[in-house]
Copies of this chain bind each other. A is one copy, B any other.
Amino acid sequence: MTTKTQPADIEAQVIDDLVVANRILAKKGVLDGWGHVSARCPNNPKHFFMARSLAPALVTAADIMEFDEDSEPVDQRGRRMYAERYIHGEILRARPDVMAVVHSHSSKVLPFSVTDAPLRALIHMAAFLGDEPAPVFDTRVAPGGDFTMLVLNSQSGAALAKELGNRSVVLMRGHGMSVAAASVRLVVFMAIYTQINAEVLLSALHLGTPNFMDSAEIARSDRPDRGWEAWAAEVRENE
């Protein structure tokens, strides 16, 4: 008997986290029926896991597919796929440090994608937003620009990844946001707290001039590691 974690175990863990992430993000209103979350394959870092085209609230391990570096299915078997899977493929290609991506239509975040009001770190739980306004991606003006508002091919995905740069969150005009992080659990945390930071900021802008986090504070911030357990327990309750 060996205590070393086998690759198969690691993969099963990532897939389980991905399933739970789908359900948590649906419950928190980060994902409606149309958003998605992906994870880099631990045993093949050029590939990623993501559900077949299905509302996140319904995703189970059996729905997880593997996609290659061009966001094409390894073994489609007739399953329908998210049209915007290139968001995930291209961010993962451009950012080796990223292990998981969320694409969300959060109605709390959307207002910041269609106005000039800057979305930046106001509350310490969202320090990852940084002290510069989150970049806004607009398909109309992106390279190979079009009028779909969607990311339907690798070129568009690469343009989105470029707009994201080395940030954690990129807004998408009239469409939502994409979030990139070093693990599934972390990307869930970041997506949820981007939403909360947006809510608090909207209210703060009603009250006056917000006192944002400064760069020294952001530099000192750690990534919190509680929360997942409680969120996971909530969605597992009714299984």
Contact = CB atoms under 8 A, between A and B. Distances in A.
Nearest to A226: B33
Interface stretch (A1-9, A116-124, A156-164): A116-124
A174 B126 CA distance: 10
A115 B147 contact: no
Interface string A202-231: 111111111111101101110010111111
Interface string A115-145: 1110000111100000000000000100000
A140 to B, nearest CB: 7
A148 B220 CA distance: 6
B148 A207 contact: no
Contact of A229 (B26, B58, B115, B117): B58
Contacts of A47: none
Contacts of A208: 115-117
What bracket does the count of chain A residues touching chain B fall in?
A: 35 or more
A107 B147 contact: no
Copies of this polypeptide in the complex? 4
Nearest to A53: B226
A209 B34 contact: no
Nearest to A59: B230
30 contacts: A33-B227, A33-B229, A34-B125, A55-B231, A56-B230, A57-B230, A57-B233, A58-B230, A105-B125, A108-B203, A110-B123, A110-B200, A110-B204, A111-B200, A111-B204, A114-B211, A115-B204, A116-B207, A116-B208, A117-B207, A117-B208, A122-B174, A124-B149, A140-B217, A147-B219, A147-B220, A148-B217, A149-B221, A202-B203, A206-B206
Interface of A: 26, 32-34, 53-58, 105, 107-108, 110-112, 114-117, 122-125, 140, 146-150, 173-175, 196, 199-200, 202-214, 216-217, 219-221, 224, 226-231, 233-234, 237-238
